[in-house]
Chains A and B, each alone.
Chain A
């Protein structure tokens, strides 16, 4: 059996794979929910809109342990959603990370949509766009800003440890992911493995940041040259 830092290689790859699977699934769900919410908040005026925006902005900095606690209480046997039997499963981790990613994606997507130049909206109207086509055009114009929000959300969930530790339980081979393994192995004094996993996480963060810079630049090609 191949061993790396006293852990079977397949187990190590499993930890990295589960981390990516949980974070990416949470991000996809959060994005699917956040995009319509952001578009609605940016393009429609309705009572309570400002209050929702304030809440969203506040929740961008939600402490992961608080999210973990709330999800734990909801999913525990006596909780409101206890019948789902999700506690200590990857499903519970996905729920927690979705809650963490949603306000970031929604808030940044909202900012991107409201930042679209009003002249561009006017152009779509003068060319005959109906309300649905106008909304689609504005969202399309905001696409690089929206992608930046999605990537910022990915950065948030991949680096997060508090919530998934509480709701996932860090069960070996089932709910153990990179961040919880680093916390555990550091406690055990197995620094080599913790450092290796830390390097993997850092590389992922670097990739995420490079993607973020790319999309932010792509959103404003040579505007200053005009």
Chain B
């Protein structure tokens, strides 16, 4: 079951640069949200704060499970996972990379094998399970990163541009895996993306991060989810 995340007036600066300014929003449990915004708008910072990798300068983020507040300790951290655009691949096999999160949680070997293989199949990497992960292509590495996050069955899944710069084939595999999780309503998903189409297809609600603030992406939940118009080509 996903968590409810209450973002309550958070601000974050790096030196002189105010990246987030008094953001206020409640992410409801088991819903999927897309964060849209230009580069540097603060999407990644918001995800890092929600993932408890950093702390806000002002305000706070509260987590609730069935209305019960949770403390930001290791147990809570382990219910949240963030998939970054740069997947840090461990110098070992694909299987061991995906199994990492389960191993540090002390999951039994038999269960670990079943869960890892199920996820590798979902992202189309089962035939690569014994390959060295550092030999994978960049698209396969992104799929590995998603499998590694999904295998721990997080209650909050944060995805920072999961398909940026990927070919359509790899992007489709990743989108399908996110869609599968969304349909099961098993986690609260927040997806930062520049892809309007992806946001419209995967998210229940779309938010825009603009000048450090968070706002709804339009009156209808899907109303914003259209590709921006392509400007006409200039005559030569």
Instruction: State the majority secondary structure of interface residues on A.
Output: helix
Task: Check B134 against A127 for contact (C-beta < 8 Å).
Answer: no
| Closest residue on chain A to residue B51 by CB atoms | A126
Task: Check B91 against A127 for contact (C-beta < 8 Å).
Answer: no
B81 within 8 A of A: yes
B94 within 8 A of A: no
Contacts A120-B88, A219-B91, A226-B141 given; does A127 touch B53 at CB 8 Å: no
Residues of B within 8 A of A221 (CB): 91, 132, 134-135
Task: Check B90 against A128 for contact (C-beta < 8 Å).
Answer: no
B100 within 8 A of A: yes
Interface flags for B121-163 (1: CB within 8 Å of A; 0: not) read 0000000000010111110010001001100100000000000
Per the bound structure, the CA–CA distance linking A226 and B138 in Å amounts to: 6
Interface flags for B78-91 (1: CB within 8 Å of A; 0: not) read 10011110111111
B17 within 8 A of A: no
A190 within 8 A of B: no
B230 within 8 A of A: no
| Closest residue on chain B to residue A118 by CB atoms | B88
Shortest distance from the beta carbon of B82 to any chain A beta carbon, whole Å? 4
Per the bound structure, the CA–CA distance linking A129 and B106 in Å amounts to: 11
**Cβ 8 A contact of A119, one of B51, B83, B86, B100:** B86
Shortest distance from the beta carbon of B81 to any chain A beta carbon, whole Å? 6
Q: Which residues of B contact A (CB under 8 A)?
A: 51, 53, 74, 77-78, 81-84, 86-91, 100-101, 104-105, 132, 134-138, 141, 145, 148-149, 152
* CB pairs A–B below 8 angstroms (7 shown): A119-B87, A123-B90, A123-B148, A126-B53, A127-B149, A128-B101, A128-B104
Q: Which residues of A contact B (CB under 8 A)?
A: 117, 119-130, 133, 137, 140-141, 144, 219, 221-223, 225-226
